Protein backbone atom coordinates (compact mmCIF):
# COMPACT_ATOMS: atom_id res chain seq x y z
CA UNK A 1 0.00 0.00 0.00
CA UNK A 2 1.99 2.90 -1.36
CA UNK A 3 -0.10 5.73 -0.06
CA UNK A 4 -0.76 4.43 3.39
CA UNK A 5 -0.15 7.11 6.01
CA UNK A 6 2.06 6.45 9.01
CA UNK A 7 1.67 9.81 10.77
CA UNK A 8 -1.62 11.66 11.11
CA UNK A 9 -1.66 15.05 12.73
CA UNK A 10 -4.91 16.82 13.56
CA UNK A 11 -5.21 20.36 14.87
CA UNK A 12 -2.03 20.01 16.87
CA UNK A 13 -1.45 23.04 19.09
CA UNK A 14 1.11 24.02 21.70
CA UNK A 15 0.90 27.14 23.79
CA UNK A 16 3.38 28.47 26.34
CA UNK A 17 1.37 30.81 28.55
CA UNK A 18 -0.32 33.25 26.17
CA UNK A 19 2.08 32.47 23.35
CA UNK A 20 1.04 29.97 20.67
CA UNK A 21 4.14 28.20 19.35
CA UNK A 22 2.27 25.63 17.23
CA UNK A 23 -1.06 26.82 15.94
CA UNK A 24 -3.63 24.21 14.99
CA UNK A 25 -1.62 22.30 12.38
CA UNK A 26 -2.83 19.23 10.49
CA UNK A 27 -0.99 17.01 8.00
CA UNK A 28 -0.28 13.37 7.20
CA UNK A 29 2.99 11.69 6.36
CA UNK A 30 2.97 8.66 4.08
CA UNK A 31 4.85 5.47 4.79
CA UNK A 32 8.34 5.67 3.33
CA UNK A 33 8.16 9.39 2.72
CA UNK A 34 10.79 12.03 3.53
CA UNK A 35 8.71 14.87 4.91
CA UNK A 36 10.11 18.31 5.70
CA UNK A 37 9.03 21.08 8.04
CA UNK A 38 10.67 24.17 6.62
CA UNK A 39 10.56 27.52 8.36
CA UNK A 40 12.48 30.32 10.04
CA UNK A 41 13.69 30.50 13.64
CA UNK A 42 10.85 30.29 16.10
CA UNK A 43 8.35 28.94 13.55
CA UNK A 44 7.49 26.03 15.85
CA UNK A 45 9.35 23.24 14.04
CA UNK A 46 11.16 21.79 17.05
CA UNK A 47 8.07 22.07 19.23
CA UNK A 48 6.08 20.11 16.62
CA UNK A 49 8.76 17.43 16.46
CA UNK A 50 8.97 17.25 20.25
CA UNK A 51 5.22 16.66 20.47
CA UNK A 52 5.28 13.98 17.77
CA UNK A 53 8.17 12.21 19.47
CA UNK A 54 6.34 12.26 22.84
CA UNK A 55 8.85 14.63 24.46
CA UNK A 56 6.26 17.42 24.86
CA UNK A 57 2.52 17.24 25.44
CA UNK A 58 0.18 18.95 23.00
CA UNK A 59 -2.05 21.66 24.45
CA UNK A 60 -4.77 20.71 21.96
CA UNK A 61 -5.24 18.38 19.01
CA UNK A 62 -4.03 14.85 18.37
CA UNK A 63 -1.54 12.87 16.37
CA UNK A 64 -0.98 9.20 15.74
CA UNK A 65 2.11 7.32 14.63
CA UNK A 66 1.55 3.88 13.18
CA UNK A 67 -2.00 4.18 14.52
CA UNK A 68 -0.86 4.88 18.11
CA UNK A 69 -1.89 8.08 19.84
CA UNK A 70 1.15 10.15 20.86
CA UNK A 71 -0.36 10.89 24.29
CA UNK A 72 -2.42 7.82 25.14
CA UNK A 73 -0.03 5.26 23.68
CA UNK A 74 3.29 7.04 24.09
CA UNK A 75 5.15 3.85 25.04
CA UNK A 76 4.10 2.18 21.77
CA UNK A 77 4.98 5.30 19.82
CA UNK A 78 8.47 5.38 21.33
CA UNK A 79 9.13 1.86 20.07
CA UNK A 80 8.45 3.01 16.52
CA UNK A 81 10.52 6.17 16.46
CA UNK A 82 14.05 7.49 16.65
CA UNK A 83 14.90 11.12 17.26
CA UNK A 84 17.93 13.20 16.39
CA UNK A 85 17.96 16.65 17.96
CA UNK A 86 20.45 19.38 18.72
CA UNK A 87 20.26 18.57 22.38
CA UNK A 88 21.61 15.01 22.12
CA UNK A 89 24.13 13.92 24.70
CA UNK A 90 27.19 11.84 23.85
CA UNK A 91 29.77 10.82 26.39
CA UNK A 92 33.03 12.38 25.26
CA UNK A 93 35.25 10.07 27.30
CA UNK A 94 33.60 6.94 25.91
CA UNK A 95 34.49 5.54 22.51
CA UNK A 96 32.03 5.50 19.59
CA UNK A 97 31.30 1.84 20.23
CA UNK A 98 30.89 2.29 24.00
CA UNK A 99 28.47 5.18 23.50
CA UNK A 100 26.27 3.12 21.19
CA UNK A 101 26.40 0.12 23.51
CA UNK A 102 25.35 2.33 26.40
CA UNK A 103 22.38 3.89 24.57
CA UNK A 104 21.45 0.55 23.01
CA UNK A 105 21.27 -1.06 26.43
CA UNK A 106 18.47 1.41 27.30
CA UNK A 107 16.28 -0.29 24.69
CA UNK A 108 16.55 -3.80 26.16
CA UNK A 109 18.12 -5.12 22.98
CA UNK A 110 19.73 -8.57 23.55
CA UNK A 111 23.51 -8.26 23.85
CA UNK A 112 24.46 -10.31 20.79
CA UNK A 113 21.92 -8.49 18.61
CA UNK A 114 23.16 -5.14 19.90
CA UNK A 115 26.82 -5.97 19.25
CA UNK A 116 26.04 -6.86 15.67
CA UNK A 117 23.82 -3.82 15.17
CA UNK A 118 26.39 -1.38 16.57
CA UNK A 119 29.00 -2.72 14.14
CA UNK A 120 26.59 -2.49 11.22
CA UNK A 121 25.53 1.05 12.09
CA UNK A 122 29.10 2.28 12.50
CA UNK A 123 29.86 0.78 9.10
CA UNK A 124 26.77 2.45 7.63
CA UNK A 125 28.06 5.93 8.56
CA UNK A 126 31.68 5.05 7.81
CA UNK A 127 32.87 5.31 11.37
CA UNK A 128 34.18 1.74 11.74
CA UNK A 129 37.75 3.02 11.59
CA UNK A 130 37.03 5.23 14.58
CA UNK A 131 34.98 2.83 16.66
CA UNK A 132 37.54 2.68 19.45
CA UNK A 133 38.26 6.41 19.49
CA UNK A 134 36.79 8.71 22.13
CA UNK A 135 33.81 10.69 20.82
CA UNK A 136 35.35 13.82 22.37
CA UNK A 137 37.98 13.79 19.62
CA UNK A 138 35.40 13.71 16.79
CA UNK A 139 34.64 16.54 14.36
CA UNK A 140 31.17 18.13 14.32
CA UNK A 141 30.26 16.09 11.25
CA UNK A 142 31.36 12.82 12.84
CA UNK A 143 29.43 13.63 16.02
CA UNK A 144 26.32 14.33 14.01
CA UNK A 145 26.68 10.97 12.24
CA UNK A 146 26.94 9.40 15.70
CA UNK A 147 23.74 11.22 16.72
CA UNK A 148 21.91 9.84 13.72
CA UNK A 149 23.20 6.32 14.29
CA UNK A 150 22.23 6.52 17.93
CA UNK A 151 18.63 7.20 16.90
CA UNK A 152 18.71 4.10 14.71
CA UNK A 153 19.65 1.62 17.44
CA UNK A 154 16.04 0.48 17.91
CA UNK A 155 15.55 0.22 14.12
CA UNK A 156 12.78 2.82 14.07
CA UNK A 157 10.13 2.92 11.38
CA UNK A 158 9.99 6.69 11.69
CA UNK A 159 13.07 8.84 12.15
CA UNK A 160 12.66 12.43 13.38
CA UNK A 161 15.56 14.74 12.63
CA UNK A 162 15.66 18.25 14.08
CA UNK A 163 17.94 20.46 11.95
CA UNK A 164 20.34 17.62 11.08
CA UNK A 165 22.75 19.84 9.13
CA UNK A 166 22.83 22.77 11.55
CA UNK A 167 26.39 23.94 12.13
CA UNK A 168 27.89 21.45 9.70
CA UNK A 169 30.35 22.39 6.98
CA UNK A 170 29.09 21.89 3.38
CA UNK A 171 30.87 18.54 2.97
CA UNK A 172 29.39 17.10 6.19
CA UNK A 173 25.95 18.43 5.21
CA UNK A 174 26.18 16.55 1.93
CA UNK A 175 27.19 13.38 3.79
CA UNK A 176 24.31 13.61 6.23
CA UNK A 177 21.84 14.24 3.39
CA UNK A 178 23.21 11.29 1.44
CA UNK A 179 22.94 9.10 4.49
CA UNK A 180 19.32 10.09 5.16
CA UNK A 181 18.45 9.33 1.53
CA UNK A 182 20.17 5.97 1.68
CA UNK A 183 18.41 5.02 4.89
CA UNK A 184 15.08 5.99 3.40
CA UNK A 185 15.72 4.16 0.14
CA UNK A 186 17.24 0.96 1.51
CA UNK A 187 15.32 0.48 4.76
CA UNK A 188 12.11 2.26 3.82
CA UNK A 189 12.40 4.36 6.97
CA UNK A 190 9.94 7.24 7.04
CA UNK A 191 11.79 10.47 7.76
CA UNK A 192 10.48 13.73 9.20
CA UNK A 193 13.05 16.48 9.14
CA UNK A 194 12.92 20.09 10.31
CA UNK A 195 15.14 22.66 8.71
CA UNK A 196 15.45 26.34 7.95
CA UNK A 197 17.80 25.50 5.07
CA UNK A 198 16.04 25.69 1.72
CA UNK A 199 18.63 23.40 0.16
CA UNK A 200 17.97 20.59 2.66
CA UNK A 201 14.28 20.75 1.97
CA UNK A 202 14.79 20.95 -1.76
CA UNK A 203 17.28 18.09 -2.05
CA UNK A 204 15.85 15.70 0.50
CA UNK A 205 12.13 15.99 0.93
CA UNK A 206 9.36 14.33 -1.06
CA UNK A 207 6.97 16.91 0.38
CA UNK A 208 7.54 20.08 2.33
CA UNK A 209 5.33 21.89 4.82
CA UNK A 210 6.31 25.53 5.00
CA UNK A 211 5.74 26.77 8.54
CA UNK A 212 5.67 30.32 9.77
CA UNK A 213 4.64 31.57 13.19
CA UNK A 214 3.21 28.22 14.24
CA UNK A 215 1.09 27.69 11.13
CA UNK A 216 1.50 25.60 7.99
CA UNK A 217 1.26 28.16 5.20
CA UNK A 218 1.83 25.73 2.31
CA UNK A 219 2.34 22.00 1.84
CA UNK A 220 3.40 20.25 -1.35
CA UNK A 221 6.33 18.89 -3.33
CA UNK A 222 9.14 21.33 -3.97
CA UNK A 223 8.26 21.50 -7.67
CA UNK A 224 4.60 22.24 -6.97
CA UNK A 225 5.44 24.86 -4.35
CA UNK A 226 7.56 26.67 -6.93
CA UNK A 227 4.60 26.60 -9.32
CA UNK A 228 2.72 28.78 -6.83
CA UNK A 229 4.97 31.57 -8.10
CA UNK A 230 4.88 30.88 -11.81
CA UNK A 231 1.15 30.18 -11.61
CA UNK A 232 0.60 33.48 -9.86
CA UNK A 233 2.16 35.35 -12.77
CA UNK A 234 5.02 36.41 -10.54
CA UNK A 235 8.52 36.76 -11.93
CA UNK A 236 11.80 37.14 -10.16
CA UNK A 237 14.18 39.77 -11.41
CA UNK A 238 17.82 40.06 -10.51
CA UNK A 239 18.81 43.64 -11.27
CA UNK A 240 22.24 45.15 -11.17
CA UNK A 241 22.19 48.93 -10.82
CA UNK A 242 25.61 50.60 -10.81
CA UNK A 243 24.45 53.70 -8.94
CA UNK A 244 21.96 52.10 -6.56
CA UNK A 245 20.65 54.37 -3.79
CA UNK A 246 18.18 53.83 -0.99
CA UNK A 247 15.94 56.45 -2.61
CA UNK A 248 15.84 54.37 -5.79
CA UNK A 249 15.01 51.24 -3.81
CA UNK A 250 12.13 53.07 -2.15
CA UNK A 251 10.83 54.18 -5.55
CA UNK A 252 10.85 50.60 -6.82
CA UNK A 253 9.20 49.36 -3.63
CA UNK A 254 6.34 51.81 -4.13
CA UNK A 255 5.56 50.56 -7.64
CA UNK A 256 2.26 48.76 -7.93
CA UNK A 257 3.80 45.79 -9.76
CA UNK A 258 6.48 44.93 -7.16
CA UNK A 259 5.63 42.37 -4.47
CA UNK A 260 8.96 42.54 -2.71
CA UNK A 261 12.32 44.20 -3.17
CA UNK A 262 15.39 42.76 -1.49
CA UNK A 263 18.85 44.28 -1.57
CA UNK A 264 21.36 41.48 -2.13
CA UNK A 265 24.51 43.63 -2.12
CA UNK A 266 25.58 47.24 -2.84
CA UNK A 267 24.46 47.10 -6.48
CA UNK A 268 22.05 44.17 -6.73
CA UNK A 269 18.32 43.99 -6.12
CA UNK A 270 16.10 40.97 -6.20
CA UNK A 271 12.56 41.93 -7.11
CA UNK A 272 9.39 39.88 -7.22
CA UNK A 273 7.11 41.46 -9.79
CA UNK A 274 3.68 40.60 -11.15
CA UNK A 275 1.72 41.53 -14.24
CA UNK A 276 2.45 41.78 -17.97
CA UNK A 277 3.92 45.24 -17.90
CA UNK A 278 5.93 44.77 -14.76
CA UNK A 279 9.35 44.76 -16.46
CA UNK A 280 8.63 47.99 -18.33
CA UNK A 281 7.31 49.73 -15.22
CA UNK A 282 10.38 48.82 -13.19
CA UNK A 283 12.81 49.89 -15.92
CA UNK A 284 10.93 53.15 -16.57
CA UNK A 285 10.97 54.01 -12.89
CA UNK A 286 14.71 53.37 -12.63
CA UNK A 287 15.49 55.41 -15.76
CA UNK A 288 13.39 58.31 -14.52
CA UNK A 289 15.63 58.47 -11.45
CA UNK A 290 18.75 58.22 -13.65
CA UNK A 291 19.56 54.74 -12.42
CA UNK A 292 22.07 52.82 -14.55
CA UNK A 293 21.02 49.24 -15.14
CA UNK A 294 24.15 47.18 -15.80
CA UNK A 295 22.46 43.78 -15.99
CA UNK A 296 19.09 42.13 -15.64
CA UNK A 297 18.26 38.47 -15.22
CA UNK A 298 15.04 36.52 -14.89
CA UNK A 299 15.54 33.92 -12.12
CA UNK A 300 13.90 30.55 -11.55
CA UNK A 301 11.92 30.52 -8.30
CA UNK A 302 13.53 28.98 -5.21
CA UNK A 303 11.77 27.83 -2.06
CA UNK A 304 12.99 31.06 -0.46
CA UNK A 305 10.97 32.97 -3.06
CA UNK A 306 7.95 30.81 -2.36
CA UNK A 307 8.28 31.59 1.33
CA UNK A 308 8.62 35.30 0.57
CA UNK A 309 5.67 35.21 -1.81
CA UNK A 310 3.39 33.50 0.71
CA UNK A 311 4.38 35.23 3.92
CA UNK A 312 5.51 38.61 2.61
CA UNK A 313 8.80 38.36 4.47
CA UNK A 314 12.11 36.58 4.18
CA UNK A 315 13.12 33.53 6.15
CA UNK A 316 15.97 35.45 7.74
CA UNK A 317 13.72 38.40 8.62
CA UNK A 318 11.24 36.38 10.54
CA UNK A 319 12.79 36.65 14.00
CA UNK A 320 12.87 40.46 13.70
CA UNK A 321 9.33 40.51 12.35
CA UNK A 322 8.17 38.59 15.37
CA UNK A 323 9.68 41.11 17.75
CA UNK A 324 8.05 43.94 15.80
CA UNK A 325 4.69 42.21 15.87
CA UNK A 326 4.96 41.76 19.59
CA UNK A 327 5.71 45.47 19.91
CA UNK A 328 2.88 46.60 17.71
CA UNK A 329 0.29 44.06 18.73
CA UNK A 330 -1.88 41.67 16.75
CA UNK A 331 -3.10 44.31 14.31
CA UNK A 332 0.39 44.77 12.86
CA UNK A 333 0.59 41.03 12.32
CA UNK A 334 -2.78 40.92 10.62
CA UNK A 335 -1.80 43.68 8.22
CA UNK A 336 1.39 41.92 7.32
CA UNK A 337 -0.43 38.69 6.58
CA UNK A 338 -2.91 40.35 4.25
CA UNK A 339 -0.24 41.70 1.86
N1 LIG B 1 9.53 25.64 26.67
C2 LIG B 1 9.19 26.79 26.11
N3 LIG B 1 8.69 27.81 26.83
C4 LIG B 1 8.34 28.99 26.25
N5 LIG B 1 8.44 29.24 24.93
C6 LIG B 1 8.93 28.26 24.16
C7 LIG B 1 9.33 26.99 24.70
N8 LIG B 1 9.76 26.21 23.68
C9 LIG B 1 9.64 26.96 22.57
N10 LIG B 1 9.15 28.19 22.85
C11 LIG B 1 8.86 29.25 21.88
O12 LIG B 1 8.06 28.73 20.87
C13 LIG B 1 8.43 29.23 19.59
C14 LIG B 1 8.73 28.10 18.66
O15 LIG B 1 9.91 27.46 19.09
P16 LIG B 1 10.57 26.26 18.30
O17 LIG B 1 11.80 25.90 19.03
O18 LIG B 1 9.58 25.20 18.09
O19 LIG B 1 10.91 26.93 16.91
P20 LIG B 1 11.77 26.38 15.72
O21 LIG B 1 10.95 26.49 14.51
O22 LIG B 1 12.33 25.05 16.07
O23 LIG B 1 12.93 27.46 15.63
P24 LIG B 1 14.52 27.30 15.50
O25 LIG B 1 14.82 27.44 14.05
O26 LIG B 1 15.01 28.47 16.28
O27 LIG B 1 14.93 25.99 16.07
C28 LIG B 1 9.63 30.15 19.85
O29 LIG B 1 9.18 31.48 19.87
C30 LIG B 1 10.13 29.72 21.20
O31 LIG B 1 10.72 30.81 21.87
MG1 LIG C 1 14.23 24.30 16.30
Give the distance (Å) from ligand 1 centre to CA of residue 255.
36
Spell out the domains of the chain, with CATH numbers in brackets: 5-220 (3.40.50.300), 226-338 (3.30.70.100)
Query: Which ligand ends up closest to the CA of 161?
Result: 2
What's residue 335's pLDDT?
32
What's residue 2's pLDDT?
56
Per residue of the chain (339 residues), what is the pLDDT tens digit? Answer: 557 999 999 999 999 999 999 999 999 999 999 999 999 999 999 999 999 999 999 999 999 999 999 999 999 999 999 999 877 788 999 999 999 999 998 888 889 999 999 999 998 888 999 999 999 999 888 888 899 889 999 889 999 999 998 888 888 888 889 889 988 999 899 999 999 988 889 999 999 999 999 999 999 999 999 988 877 678 889 999 999 999 999 999 999 999 889 999 999 999 988 888 888 999 999 999 999 999 999 888 888 888 888 887 766 554 444 444 443 433 333 333 332
Q: Which of 44, 57, 87, 307 to mutate to test the pocket of ligand 1 (most atoms within 8 A of CB)?
A: 44
What's residue 313's pLDDT?
72
What's residue 274's pLDDT?
86
User: Is 21 touching ligand 1 by the criterion CB < 6 Å?
Assistant: yes
What's residue 76's pLDDT?
95
What's residue 105's pLDDT?
87
User: Is 214 touching ligand 1 by the criterion CB < 6 Å?
Assistant: no
What's residue 170's pLDDT?
87
What's residue 1's pLDDT?
52
Backbone angles phi, psi at 12, to 5 degrees: -70, 130
Report the distance separating Cα 192 and Cα 190, nearest Å: 7
Give the distance (Å) from ligand 2 centre to CA of residue 41.
7
Give the distance (Å) from ligand 1 centre to CA of residue 304.
21
Give the distance (Å) from ligand 1 centre to CA of residue 40.
11
User: Is 43 touching ligand 1 by the criterion CB < 6 Å?
Assistant: yes
User: Is 215 touching ligand 1 by the criterion CB < 6 Å?
Assistant: no
Residue with CA at minimum distance from ligand 1 atom 11: 21
What is the pTM (predicted TM-score) of this model? 0.82
What's residue 332's pLDDT?
35
Secondary structure, 3-state, the chain: CCCCEEEEEEEEEEEECCEEEEEEEEEEEECCCEEEEECCCCCCHHHHHHHHCCCCCCCEEEEEECCEECCCCHHHHHHHEEEECCCCCCCCCCEHHHHHHHHHHCCCCCHHHHHHHHHHHHHHCCCHHHCCCEHHHCCHHHHHHHHHHHHCCCCCCEEEEECCCCCCCHHHHHHHHHHHHHHHHHHCCEEEEEECCHHHHHHHCCEEEEEECCEEEEEECHHHHHHHHHHCCEEEEEEEECCCCHHHHHHHHHCCCEEEEEECCCCEEEEEEECCCHHHHHHHHHHHCCCCEEEEEEECCCHHHHHHHHHCCCHHHHHHHHHHHHHHHHHHHHHHHHC
What's residue 132's pLDDT?
97
Query: Which ligand ends up closest to the CA of 57?
Result: 1
Using alpha carbons, list the distances in angstroms from residue 227 to 220, 231, 234: 10, 5, 10
Contact 319, 42 (CB under 8 A): yes
CB atoms near residue 250 (< 10 Å): 11
What's residue 53's pLDDT?
95
What's residue 21's pLDDT?
97
Report the distance separating Cα 206 and Cα 193, nearest Å: 11
- In total, the chain counts a number of residues equal to 339
Query: Which ligand ends up closest to the CA of 52?
Result: 1
Nearest C-alpha neighbor of 52 from the set 193, 184, 189:
193
Residue with CA at minimum distance from ligand 1 atom 6: 16
Amino acid sequence: MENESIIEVQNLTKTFGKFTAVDNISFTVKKGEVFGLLGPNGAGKSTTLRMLSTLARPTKGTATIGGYDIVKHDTEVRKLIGIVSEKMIMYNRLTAKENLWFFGSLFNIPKDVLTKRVDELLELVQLTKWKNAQVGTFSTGMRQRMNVVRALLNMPRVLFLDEPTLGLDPQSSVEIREFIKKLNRENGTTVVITTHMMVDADLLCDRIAIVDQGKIVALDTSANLKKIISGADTKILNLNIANLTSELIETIRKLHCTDSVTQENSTTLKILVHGDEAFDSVIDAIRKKNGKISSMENLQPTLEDVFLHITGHQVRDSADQKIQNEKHGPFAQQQRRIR
